[in-house]
Every structure is written in C-alpha cells, then in structure tokens.
Amino acid sequence: MEATGSFELTKTSEKDFQILETLGSGTYGRVVMAMEKKTGTHVALKLMKKRKTKEQSFLHELCVSITLSGHEGIIFTHPIYVDSEYFYVLTQDLAPAGTLHSLIEPSVGIPEVMVKRCAVQLTSALEYMHDHSLVHRDLKPDNVLLMDKDCFHIKLSDFGLTQAIGTLVSSMSHIIPYMSPELCQLRSYEALVLRPSMDTWAFGVLLYVAFTGYFPWERAVKDDPLFKDFIKWQRYGNQTAPPGHWTKCSTKAQELFHALLAEDPTIRSPVTITMNYLHFPWGEDMPDNSLETVEDSVEVEYLDNKFIVIEGEDEYIVIEDRGDIECIIIADASVEAVSSSSNTVLVLSDNAELHLGSEVEIA
C-alpha cells in the first residue's frame, strides 16, 4: 500500500475485474467497461500501455484524478490501481451515456439548453481546479463524460496533462483547435508559464463546437484563415461583420465568446464570466420578453456554494455572485432565497412575489 497525500493507493489485481466491453481506444491505451467481481459494481477501467506511458506519468494522473474526485462535476477515481504485464490501470465511475463528443451533430451541435447545462457544470469543475492551482490542459468534448443523454449531469475527466499553475510547459507536437494561440505559437525551444487562461480558451472553443457543430478554426495561428478572420472581427468590433458561422450566435453570445477567446491571455476572462450570460439567448437575437420560456423538467445544481441554477418548464433561475448582492433572474416562479455564512439556499415559497429580472439583497 502506497501513501500519497491525504489518501492511500491500494494495488489490486486485474483478476478482480471482469471485462465487459470496450468503450474507447487510442494510441496510449483504451477504456473498458468492467464489473468488479467482489461487489458486482460496473466501473470504467482506463488501461494505459506501458510502452507508451511512464510509471511516473501514470501515478501523476492517478493522484491528480483522485485528489479532484470530491467535486460533483469531476469523474470519481477510485484510490486503487492495477499494474499488469502490459498496462497501468486506473478505476473510475462509469459514465453510462458516453461523451459529449458523441452527442454533437456535425454542422448542427446540440440544443442550446443542453449547451448551457454543460456550461454551468464545466464552469464549476474548472473553477474548482483553478482554485486548487491546477490547469486541465486538455479540455475538449471527448473528455466530458455524460451521466445522462440530456446533459443534466456531466463529468470532467482525463487529467493526464494536468499541471500546477506556474509550471513551465513546452510546445506540443500536434496542434488541435482547442489550443490557445500562445500555446500554438510556441517554438520547440521555448517554454510558457501555465495559466488558467489556457483552459478558458479551450472552454470557449468547446462551447462554440457544442453550440454550432463546427470548429471555429483548425489552428489558432495567423496563417489559418478562419482564425485570422475571427481576430480581425474581435479587434474591429462593430466595423466588421461576424465571419463564418459566428452569425449563428446572438449578440450576447458573441460578447461571451469574445471574452473567453480574447487573443491576449492577460485580458482573457475567467470561465466564471459564462454565468453572466446564461439568461440570454445564445441563438439568433430575440426580443427581451423571449426569456420567459425555458424548457425541460426541474433540475437543481449546487456549484461550490456560489451558483444555483434551476431549470423547469416555467422557470429559470440564476444566482450570480456580485459582492454583497446576489441577483436572481426568474420567470414565472415563486422563490425565496436565504443565505448563511457557508452557503446559499433556495426554498420554494407560496407567498414570494418575484418577477423576471428581480434583484434580491441577501443579508
């Protein structure tokens, strides 16, 4: 048994699991569904090829994953591991509905209400990581796991590239659309100080891909025509029409994406700015009274005691931290908000008279 931080790692055997099916595979290994023989519990096993993975890298990912498992928006990793002849193996809770990537229809995306559900939960998970001085570094739809097909409960996963804020990182051999421009432009002999702004960029690209079904560009470099057009539009604002598929986004959504995808990382907004835009339509611009209709059954999310979102057929409530004032945006629902020193609680009330745009001061 190996002690690591505030938990202990227990080495177990591959014979303790029955492999049921392969969920995904790649260069470095594969993920399978398995049943733990002792308990009958179905889990996901991430098998990492030894010839492709250093033991130190595996233990780093394992320990980071376990450390972050306390957050409801991050996949739970069990404090056990398997060291087989050909694989290092970590054990995680099973995500029965697959990945966000599997939901996104090319050229279409997924419904706006589902994108916003993902935005809320990923904002919370990334804020949790950043508050713990960690940067994910590999945020993309493939690494967002679904507990259900409607995105009411999703989980951030895959912490193989996760490093501490302030770590020096080098260029990567393969550039993907989610990589920030400062990382894409890094030369082989250069290093970059790791900042949460890199996750912010990837988060913005992920939301755009989920919402539109298109990549905004192939690479965030000046010789990519789509990226070049985006930067020109960002710099000149109203003087330049939105290029390409950015026309699918409302004015408010464009404003959000400009904040998340600022070319200069020093002025790039934190991921939490997304919470300020949930009550606006992200599709084509609509009249102000269009906010009074929100779909789907009631769902409550508690996010680090800072945000609570409730969605329902006739209600949509967002609480946003604004110093001593918390703003409740609400449509056709009666809600009373109370606060304590440790958290904020929403309680349904028959006599509360709040309306769309109501603001409540929390004492």
- Cα of first residue to Cα of last residue in the chain, in angstroms, is 49
Distance CA 343, CA 327 (A): 15
Q: What is the DSSP secondary structure assignment for residue 314, as one 8-state letter?
A: T
CA distance 127 to 111: 24
Confirm whether 264 is a catalytic residue. no
- Write the burial class of residue 59 (CB in 10 Å: 0-12 exposed, 13-18 middle, 19+ buried): middle
Contact 142, 95 (CB under 8 A): no
Measured over the CA atoms of residue 7, residue 11, residue 14 and residue 18, the dihedral's sign is negative
Angle, CA of 251, 254 and 258, to the nearest 5°: 140
Please state, in angstroms and rounded to a whole number, the distance separating the CA atoms of residues 227 and 6: 44
What is the rounded CA–CA span in Å between residue 254 and residue 275? 15
3-state secondary structure (DSSP) of residue 76 = coil
3-class SS of residue 205? helix
Options 16, 83, 138, 158, the catalytic residue: 138
Catalytic residues: 138
